Amino acid sequence: MRIAVFPVAGLGTRFLPATKTVPKEMLPIVDKPLIQYAVDEAIEAGCDTLVFITNRYKHAVADYFDKAYELEQKLERAGKAEQLALVRNVLPEGVRAVFVTQAEALGLGHAVLCAKPVVGNEPFAVLLPDDLIWSRGDGALKQMADHAQRTGGSAIAVQDVPRAQTGSYGIVATDSFDGQAGRIRQIVEKPKPADAPSNLAVVGRYILNPAIFDLLETTQQGAGGEIQLTDAIAQLLPLEQVDAFRFHGTRFDCGTHLGLIEATVRYALDHELLSDAARKLMQNALDEMGVVEN
């Protein structure tokens, strides 16, 4: 698997006014924009071609992955080797970025279909940058890639969610589950808790075989009036093995304010240079504001 697709054409209205001019994928988590975490995870999993599905408001994402000659020259002349490495590593050597425009926001399934001309006939990954996954060992996509290589099928990241929240996710039911993975027998987009086949929710990491494209071409509008990736995957189930994969790691929903804050706290506490200071300032803030631990 060499190709990773990043659907980034959403409007990010939940984060207005911040996202009036800055795409939500460019909001920073400590020292990197959100999109960089997903990109690093894809590269770690072996991807060398990154396909961004964008729209006309997302120039900042393309600019970010473009080479910044003047900046690099300035940093080089000033002997700022560390900063230069940071700028260059946004897109390491040997990795290329491709931008595809999704003219109309017709849904996640439609966004993925836009990548078809670039992906061609190979397995590929889809990463939803809003789902930020923190892990100590291998990244979530690397874990899934290793699994998919063993099975030759598709794999979708899942985690347990409270039943009351099934309406926010794709929900799967599996035949058997060995603790880590199980073959999916049913997948439904955003079912009401009473209709949900389980509380195992899809997290935004997929490894898909290219057969999904033909199915997406005929997928009709589903939940929320959108062309859903989940509905095309449901049609793939009788044709191919699609596994639910429970990754090691913690997922933060950076599509919400609290998720963004939670991720910021976690990455600050885990940061090799900032960790101690971050811990102290969080403690100070709690003390000063009279928040008492119980």
How far, CA to CA in Å, does 109 sit from each of 2, 222, 228? Answer: 20, 10, 4
Among candidates 199, 130, 148, 213, which has minimal Cα distance to 170?
199
Q: Under the criterion CB under 6 A, does residue 35 sit at the interface with ligand G1P? A: no
Q: Under the criterion CB under 6 A, does residue 108 sit at the interface with ligand G1P? A: yes
**Among 12, 170, 182, 222, which residue interacts with ligand G1P (rule: CB under 6 A)?**
170
Give dist(CA 5, CA 119) in Å, integer: 9
Shortest approach of ligand G1P to residue 65 CB, angstroms? 22
Amino acid identity for residue 246 in this structure: R
Which residues, other chains included, contact 123 with Cβ-Cβ below 8 Å and sequence gap of 6+? 1, 148, 154, 207, 208, 209, 210
Q: Which of 83, 235 has the CB closer to ligand G1P? A: 235
Q: Under the criterion CB under 6 A, does residue 231 sit at the interface with ligand G1P? A: no
**Among 25, 131, 231, 243, which residue interacts with ligand G1P (rule: CB under 6 A)?**
131
Q: Which of 90, 222 has the CB closer to ligand G1P? A: 222
Give dist(CA 169, CA 191) in Å, integer: 8
Q: Which of 42, 278 has the CB closer to ligand G1P? A: 42
> Which residue number is nearest to ligand G1P in terms of Cβ?
170
Shortest approach of ligand G1P to residue 255 CB, angstroms? 6
Per CB under 6 A, the segment of 142-150, 172-180, 207-215, 222-230 that binds ligand G1P is 222-230
CA 78 from centroid of its chain's CA atoms: 36
Q: How many CB atoms lie within 10 A of CB 178?
A: 8
Q: Which of 125, 203 has the CB closer to ligand G1P? A: 203
Q: Under the criterion CB under 6 A, does residue 242 sit at the interface with ligand G1P? A: no
Q: Under the criterion CB under 6 A, does residue 12 sit at the interface with ligand G1P? A: no
Compute the half-sphere exposure of residue 282: CA atoms within 13 Å on the CB side of its CA.
14
Q: Which of 11, 95 has the CB closer to ligand G1P? A: 11
Q: Under the criterion CB under 6 A, does residue 202 sit at the interface with ligand G1P? A: yes
Beta bridge partners of residue 141, listed in sequence order: none
Q: Under the criterion CB under 6 A, does residue 9 sit at the interface with ligand G1P? A: no
Shortest approach of ligand G1P to residue 159 CB, angstroms? 10
63-82 positions binding ligand G1P, by CB under 6 A: none
**Among 25, 41, 189, 243, which residue interacts with ligand G1P (rule: CB under 6 A)?**
189
**Among 8, 112, 126, 128, which residue interacts with ligand G1P (rule: CB under 6 A)?**
128
Question: Mapping DSSP to helix (H, G, I), strand (E, B) and coil, where does residue 208 land?
Answer: strand
Amino acid identity for residue 114 in this structure: C
| Sign of the torsion angle spanned by Cα atoms 29, 35, 36, 37 | positive
Residue ranges of the alpha helices (H) in the chain?
34-44, 59-65, 69-77, 81-88, 108-113, 116-119, 140-151, 211-218, 229-236, 257-269, 275-288
Q: Which of 33, 170 has the CB closer to ligand G1P? A: 170
Give dist(CA 171, CA 178) in Å, integer: 18
Q: Which of 41, 189 has the CB closer to ligand G1P? A: 189
Structure tokens at 200: 């195992």
Q: Which of 154, 230 has the CB closer to ligand G1P? A: 230
> Using CB under 6 A as the criterion, which residues of the chain lie in contact with ligand G1P when the complex forms?
108, 128, 131, 169-170, 189, 201-204, 228-230
